[in-house]
Amino acid sequence: MKGTELVLQALRDRGVQYIFGYTGGAIMPVYDALVDSRLDHILVRHEQAATHMADAYARVTGKAAVVLSQTGDWTLGLLTNNVWSFAGDSDREPVNKGILQYFIVRQLGEAGHRVVTLDNLSTGFRDAVLYGDLVEGDTGDEALVMDTLDRYAVDTVMHFAAHTIVPESVADPLKYYGNNTASSRTLLERAHAHGVRHVVFSSTAAVYGIPSDGKASEASPTRPINPYGSSKLMTEWMLRDLAKAGGPSYVALRYFNVAGCEPTGTIGQSTPKATLLVKVACEAATGRRPGVAIYGTDYPTPDGTGLRDYIHVEDLATAHLDALTYLRDGGESTVLNCGYGHGYSVREVLAAVERANGKPLNISEEPRRAGDPPELIAVAERIRDVLGWTPRFDDLDTIVRTSLEWERKIAAGDPSAYWAA
C-alpha cells in the first residue's frame, strides 16, 4: 500500500467523510488516490474557503473535517486566525513607542493565534518578538504593507505604530500628523482592500484634552489640546467612517498612562531616552539618570502635581485580546477607555519608587510642559461591561516594582534585557 493510500485509510478509520481541498502539483498523488477511496472531496477555489467550509462543517455536525492543500507559502492561506501586530513607524527616526506590542504578541502566541509583526526596529528589539514572524520595515512602505497582508492572509490588524511624545508633537505637529494620521489612512486603505475584517487600534486619552472635572468617559467631549491627541482622534474618525462604509469592524482603546513591565522579567521597555514617568524614575533609581524632574508643581491638584491613571502594561495587553475576541464574536465597533478609574500624582509615583528602591531620588522641580493637562482619570466601567475585561495588576507598588526590576537588569548589563547602549 502506498503512503497516500495509508493517509486516506487513516482518515476513513477516524470517521472522516469529507475533504475540502484545493489541488496543487505537490499533492497530486493524494488526489490520484482519492479516486479509488470512499471519501468525498469538495473542490474549492481558494485555500481559505476550504478552511472556512471545514470549520463550518465540523461546528454544525460535530464530526471531523479535513482540509487538503499543498505546502509552502500557500499553507499560510489556510490560517483564518492570523493577527497582524502592526508595531512599526513610518520613518526611521527614533520614537518612544514603548513595548506594548511585544506583550500583546506574547499573549497572542500563548493563546494559539498565528501572529506576524511589522516593525522597523527603530526603537524596538528583535529578541522581544517571542512568537510568530517578524517583518522588518516601515508602515510607509506601501508595497511591503500590501505584500505582508496578502502573504500572511491577515484577518485582524492591531495598529500601534505612532509617535507618542506630547511636547514633541507641540513643537513638530506635522511630524505627528504625517506618521500618526496620514500613515494610518494608508494602512486602513490597504487593509480594507485586502479584506481585513477587524482592527484593534491603539488610541489615547489625550483625545479628551482637559475634562472639566479631570475624569473622562467615552461620552466626554473630545477636545485634544496637543497634536498627538488630535492625530489619534483623526484615526478614530477614519475607522468610524470606514466601518460605516463596509470596512473592518474595530475597537479603539483609549490608553491612559501605560507603565510597568512583565512580572517575570521577560519583557520590559528598553528604549533609550524614554519620557514615561515610571520608567524615568526607575532609571534614576538605578543610576542610569542623574535625577528626575517634576514638570509643574502649581496644578489645581491636592499636592500641586499632575494626576494620571496608571495602567499596567500586562492588563492593557489583555484588553487587546479581549477586544479581538469581542470582534470575532460579532461585537459592534466601539471606543473604550483603558484605565483603572483612579489616579496618582507625580509625587505619589516618585514616593513609590523611593519605597521600592529604599533610597531617595534626586528630584528637581521644573515649569509645566506645554500640552499637559492637570488631571486625567478614566471612567472605566464600560470596558469591563463590554469586553469582560478583568485587570490583575491594579496596584501602584506592583507597577513600580516590576519596572524597577527590569531597570536593574538593564543597569547590570543583563543580555536578556536586549538593551542597546
Residues in the chain: 421
Residue 286: C-alpha distances to residues 220, 313, 348, 358 (Å) = 40, 21, 19, 11
What span, in angstroms and rounded, lies between the C-alpha atoms of 184 and 190?
10
Q: What is the mean pLDDT of each run of 10 residues along the chain (421 residues)?
A: 78 79 76 80 79 74 73 38 46 38 82 84 73 82 87 88 85 93 91 92 94 93 94 98 96 94 75 82 94 95 95 93 94 97 96 96 92 89 97 95 91 64 32
Catalytic pick among 18, 152, 208, 228: 228
Q: CA torsion sign, 205 to 207 to 213 to 217?
A: negative
All CATH 3.40.50.720 domain ranges in the chain, comma separated: 82-417
Domain range 3-78, CATH class:
alpha beta
Contact 117, 101 (CB under 8 A): yes
Domain range 82-417, CATH class:
alpha beta
pLDDT of residue 99: 64
| 258: Cα separation from own chain's centroid | 13
pLDDT of residue 419: 41
DSSP 333: P
Q: What nine digits make up the cell of 344?
A: 496618582
Residue 151 backbone phi and psi in degrees, to 5: -65, -35
All CATH 3.40.50.970 domain ranges in the chain, comma separated: 3-78
What span, in angstroms and rounded, lies between the C-alpha atoms of 137 and 116?
12
Write down the pTM of the prediction. 0.75
Active site residue 228: yes
Q: What nine digits make up the cell of 233?
A: 482622534
Judged by DSSP in three states, 197 sits in coil
Cα 331-334-338 angle, rounded to 5 deg? 110
Q: CA torsion sign, 258 to 260 to 264 to 270?
A: positive
pLDDT of residue 7: 79
